Amino acid sequence: MRKRLISSIFTALLLILSSNAYAAFGANGASSSPVFFSAGTGLSMGTLAASNLNLDSRSMVVYGLNSDLGMRFGSLKAGLGVEYNFWMQLKDPADLGGTNAQGKEFSLAPVVGYDFGIFSLNLRYYLSSKYTFDKADSSGNKLAFLSPKTSFAVDVKIPFKSGTPYIGLHYKKMEYGKVDVGGTESDLASGNEMTTSSYGASVGFAF
């Protein structure tokens, strides 16, 4: 039931995106303001795997908030992005060897983008991110992954003709190089990194 509900919400968001995309083709070009700001919410489907914890790849649904702030240089823009996401495991832990990868993710990344008028293309490379599991390990220690490497995201934002609201699509890939067990950090050997990837749709406001 939960999986069916999430899939329905995700499908509805994509339908909103496709049915309203035409409105963007009458939009004006890039804003004349030297400062840009955006804030929105997104829904994604994704996967997560962590071999050092024997967490095989599993399907996840991701929802959360995001915001960007920076400067414009004509159609080019550069700034900083912040995200706070909730990752929810779709399958019951009993179906995955009793493991549960559900958690929360907080990330910071420099953002560069270009306004093409009818849409904007934005790229980000994550320099800071932390994924904290909701459940402690068998010893009662809180678990978290941090220190992203080779982690990036790309998104396309399509503004509505009438003003600042936007709809968009995004793809994100993360690879965490450290694990924190009960406050003690350690590096992960190559091939043992926790990896996540997700793709989805978003809505929000951009100025």
The pLDDT assigned to 160 comes to 82
Query: pLDDT at position 187, please?
Result: 92
Q: Model confidence over 146-167: pLDDT tens digits?
A: 999 989 999 999 988 655 899 9
Q: Comparing 13 with 57, which gets the higher pLDDT?
A: 57
How high is the pLDDT of residue 132? 97
Q: Is pLDDT above 80 for 142? A: yes
* Average pLDDT for the chain: 86
pLDDT at 24: 39
The residue that leads in pLDDT, 13 or 125, is 125
Question: Shortest CA distance to 125 belongs to which of 114, 113, 116?
Answer: 113
> What is the model's pLDDT at position 178?
94
Are the beta carbons of 108 and 130 closer than 8 angstroms? no
State the residue range of the domain holding 154.
2-206
Q: Assess contact for 161 and 123: CB atoms under 8 A.
A: no
Query: In this predicted structure, what is the pLDDT of residue 192?
Result: 84
Averaged over 125-154, what is the pLDDT? Answer: 93
Once rounded to an integer, what is the mean pLDDT over residues 91-113? 93
Tell me the residue ranges of DSSP E strands in the chain.
Answer: 35-50, 55-73, 76-89, 103-115, 120-125, 128-133, 143-148, 152-159, 165-181, 184-187, 194-206
Query: pLDDT category, 115, cuts 50, 70, 90?
Result: very high
Query: d(Cα 22, Cα 33) in Å, to the nearest integer?
Result: 25
- Highest-confidence segment of 16-25, 64-73, 190-199: 64-73
Residues 88-114: what's their mean pLDDT?
94
User: 69 or 117, which is more confident?
Assistant: 69
Tell me the pTM. 0.82
Band of pLDDT at residue 6, cut at 50, 70 and 90? low
β-strand pairing of 152-159 with 128-133: unpaired
Q: How many domains does the chain have?
A: 1
> Residue 136 belongs to a domain with what CATH number?
2.40.160.20
The pLDDT, as a whole number, for residue 12 is: 52
Which amino acid would we find at residue 81? G
Q: Has residue 2 got a pLDDT over 70?
A: no
